A and B are shown apart, each in its own frame.
Chain A
Amino acid sequence: MQVIEREELDRLIGLLAGDGYEVIGPTLRDDAIQYGPVRGIEDLPAGWTDEQDGGHYRLRRRDDRALFGYVVGPQSWKQYLFPPSQTIFRARRDADGLHMEPAPVQAPKRAFLGMRACELHALAIQDQVFTEGPYVDEPYERRRGSIFRVAVNCGQAGGTCFCVSMETGPRADRGFDLALTEILEGGRHYFTLEVGSDAGQAVADRLSASQAGEDEHRASMAATEAAAAQMGRQLDTQDLPALLMGNLEHPRWDEVADRCLSCANCTMVCPTCFCSSVHDSADLAGSEAVRERVWDSCFNQAFSYIAGGSIRSTPVSRYRQWMTHKLATWHEQFGTSGCVGCGRCITWCPVGIDITEEAAAIRATDQRRKRRDG
């Protein structure tokens, strides 16, 4: 573990930019801390934090000048690697026939500054979905291959965070190039620095860093321990897939569906949700066509449309699909949970539906037990 002073972070941003990376990090926009281009530490949200709860987000002042004193942004890094819409190909018909032209893949070099531990885990999950199965999503793979990951460990947890339950945080243990931990102590403002890859080492070698002393090491560990003790939510994952799949007719699904707007915000903000649909359009003359791929969601009726209609025509079946996919069937499909505990689906649900509360309610009134006992 090494140590860099606050000003050295500015140099890190400059070094990455010099290496050709567009640095993306936390910035203040529309009264929220959102990911966007960062040119130096003056663009970072010094002294700001986010207050998060079910259906609730507010930007708040901190009583210090921390640069990373917030939790996670409204939209995840997925927006850069799996963009909301992408053109797949264009086709043209003329006298010589049909000409197909695959759309060029934009894979800019980008450095993500401020990735949280849960977000690194979400990235690993999307990597698996898009690149580790029998079919590789090449545009994703290319974009993914050009990023540099600067993790920043959480020194505080948010009101909707539950990474401790999901074993995905708050300290980044792998999956980064560099990992920082921000420490404000007395008058001093510094970061501990850990290297996670060769690419990270090559950048770290050019920083003016010192070996972390015992106190600095302890302060770094204490920061993430404090965050771990502060989780706004928790989720009991013990036998969770079996619990949910054994309760598919639980009355709680109807209750949550009474409140659910099937607006799909939860799936859009979730850093692991990967669904998209493909749309073709042609011009009036029928000579030019475009195929586009856009984010889709299991909350949409058309998502489960087959000949004859939508299989999940009711909101109850759609909410159940979302939650059982995240917490249960994902295990069968990919061997992990589909949830990393980032809390976005809770915060950004307009009516504050809470996946941890729904799971707990089903656990408290497990119908399997009732069937067995009764």
Chain B
Amino acid sequence: MSGIAAKPKLAVWKFASCDGCQLSLLDCEDELLAVAGAVQIASFPEASSASVEGPYDLSLVEGSVTTPHDARRIREIRRQSRRLVTIGACATAGGIQALRNFADVDAFVSTVYASPEYIDTLATSTPIAEHVPVDFELRGCPISKSQLIEVITAFVHGRRPDVPTYSVCEECKRAGNLCVMVAHGTPCLGPVTHAGCGALCPAYNRGCYGCFGPKETPNAPALSERLAGLGMSDPELVRLYRTFNAHAEAFREASEAREHGDSPTEKKSP
């Protein structure tokens, strides 16, 4: 970034999450020095207790919004950030904790906690983009290290990240994996799931769990129909879509369609 005297200031923020995505950054051992060379890490509680005052050039936000306090905090972070990128399934889709969106949170709170009155929580777990404008969403549970480096590099060089939005199937075919759905009848979310993992599970003869959430123009109803034809029951289909990206629109609608017994007619796929 010739012509710019100070290095861009990077901040990493945590909301409701497991820290796994932030740790992906620490895990970029080979590139970490380069990152530190290219940006000033101004705030990264997971890595260092030192922090620099805002505003920030780039904020990476991990985690979902589950409390009124966090709903206020993300607005403040947005105000302090020139670019805001959400990282991981929690921040981009509400995470596994968004399973609460399909249940009664008050019932959980009164069952789990001795003094429920101290618990200040929202009824839902929601992605950051439902609260503030987001410049780029990086998917995955956890995110891919190389995609994270790509996002930071693109930011530093002032271009758009090159992160493909097509299906996991394409990574699967390029890797030379055998399709577990066609050849073994194993249910797989790959055809509706966003690429990014390199088709890790099919490479080990497992179906895709949908860690990277819905791909571009996902057609989950058609996949559900096929999986039902392969013998999956509606409750199994509901569970299939309700994991790390349960609240992502395409997966949410697909699970709800199978939950309320209003699944499309017995039109069997060939």
Contacts and interface: CB of A to CB of B under 8 A. Distances in A.
A37 to B, nearest CB: 13
A58 B179 CA distance: 11
A268 interface: yes
B217 interface: yes
Interface string B173-207: 11110110111100010111000000000000100
Contact of A354 (B31, B174, B216, B270): B270
B109 interface: no
A59 B183 CA distance: 8
Contacts of B24: none
A284 B152 contact: yes
Interface stretch (A24-32, A226-234, A328-336): A24-32
B164 A302 contact: yes
Interface string B106-150: 000000000000000000000000000000000000000000011
Contact of A301 (B153, B166, B169, B223): B166
Given A351-B222, A351-B226, A284 B182 contact: no
A315 interface: yes
B190 A263 contact: yes
B174 A84 contact: yes
Contacts of A263: 167, 169-170, 190-192
B156 A284 contact: yes
Contact of A297 (B152, B170, B184): B170
B182 A57 contact: yes
A240 interface: no
Contact of B178 (A34, A85, A262, A350): A34
B222 A347 contact: no
Interface in B199-237: 205, 216-219, 222-223, 225-226
Contacts of B178: 29-32, 34, 74
A264 interface: yes
Contacts of B23: none
Interface stretch (A165-173, A208-216, A253-261): A253-261
B209 to A, nearest CB: 16
Contacts of B162: 279-281
- Residue of B34, B182, B191, B218 most packed against chain A (CB within 10 A): B182
Interface residues of B, number: 43
Given A84-B173, A282-B153, A260 B219 contact: yes
Contacts of B157: 282, 286
B269 interface: yes
B186 to A, nearest CB: 11
B105 interface: no
B64 to A, nearest CB: 27
Contacts of A54: 270
A295 B174 contact: yes
Find the residue from A53, A55, A85, A279 having the highest chain B CB count within 10 A: A55
A64 B217 CA distance: 47
Contacts of B96: none
A53 B183 CA distance: 11
A74 to B, nearest CB: 6
Contacts of A58: 183
B269 A352 contact: yes
Contact of A350 (B152, B181, B218): B181
A315 B217 contact: yes
Given A295-B170, A297-B170, A351-B222, A284 B179 contact: no
Contact of B179 (A53, A265, A285, A294): A265
Given A261-B223, A351-B223, A284 B150 contact: no
Interface residues on A, range: 35 or more
Interface string A285-315: 1100000001101011110000000000111
A347 to B, nearest CB: 7
Contacts of A264: 166-167, 169-170, 173
A350 B223 contact: yes
B129 to A, nearest CB: 19
B173 A30 contact: no
B165 interface: yes
Contacts of A74: 178-179, 183
A262 to B, nearest CB: 6
B270 A284 contact: no
Given A29-B178, A31-B184, A301-B166, A285 B173 contact: no
A146 interface: no
Given A263-B190, A301-B217, A302-B165, A348 B182 contact: yes
Contacts of B190: 263, 350
A47 B174 CA distance: 29
Given A85-B174, A294-B174, A261 B219 contact: yes
Interface string B2-28: 000000000000000000000000000
A59 B184 CA distance: 9
Contacts of B150: 281
A350 B166 contact: no
10 contacts: A30-B205, A54-B270, A264-B169, A284-B34, A286-B157, A300-B166, A315-B219, A350-B169, A350-B191, A351-B191
| Leading 9 A-B pairs by shortest Cβ distance | A268-B173, A84-B174, A263-B191, A261-B191, A263-B169, A284-B34, A263-B167, A284-B38, A30-B178
Interface of A: 29-32, 34, 53-59, 74-75, 79, 84-85, 258-265, 268-269, 279-286, 294-295, 297, 299-302, 313-315, 347-352, 354
Given A351-B222, A352-B226, 17 more contacts: A29-B178, A32-B178, A55-B182, A75-B176, A258-B219, A259-B219, A259-B225, A265-B179, A265-B191, A283-B34, A284-B152, A284-B153, A286-B157, A297-B170, A301-B165, A302-B165, A350-B188
